[in-house]
Amino acid sequence: MGIDEYGGGQSPQSAVLVVTTNDVPGYRVERVIGEVFGLTVRSRHLGSQIGAGLKSLVGGELKGLTKTLAQTRTQAMERLVEQAQTRGANAVLMMRFDVSEAADVGTEVCAYGTAAVITPRHA
């Protein structure tokens, strides 16, 4: 599996800039829209659970689970961007992920941040 299968983040063509910082160098926050989030819950796959259990006996990375988590975070981020865009934002500031168990049947991943409208600063 290549590194692209384990990566994440937004595509360069995205109309909404997502950052983990409070501000964006060279830009001014014109308007804060408010909190936005993207949520997804993935159920556990029996085969991957058995494989992970066996792998834990000998140690090493659980590549199947790593790939699934990366895909899940990407989906949560896409939903975050969609919600921000729908609310009129062109940026999400202070983006974070929250991961938790969902009633012992899966994993919940939430991407959240502050939707805002930003404009370039002029020199």
* Per-residue pLDDT reduced to its tens digit, 22-53: 999 999 999 999 999 999 988 765 455 555 55
Is the entire prediction scored with pTM above 0.85?
no
Distance CA 95, CA 80 (A): 9
pLDDT score of 55 more than 80: no
Question: pLDDT band for position 16 (50/70/90)?
Answer: very high
pLDDT for the residue numbered 72: 87
**In 37-52, which positions are buried (b, 16+ CB within 10 angstroms) versus exposed (e)?**
bbebbbebeeeeeeee
Q: Which residues contact 37 (CB under 8 A, 6 or more apart)?
A: 79, 80, 83, 110, 111, 112, 113
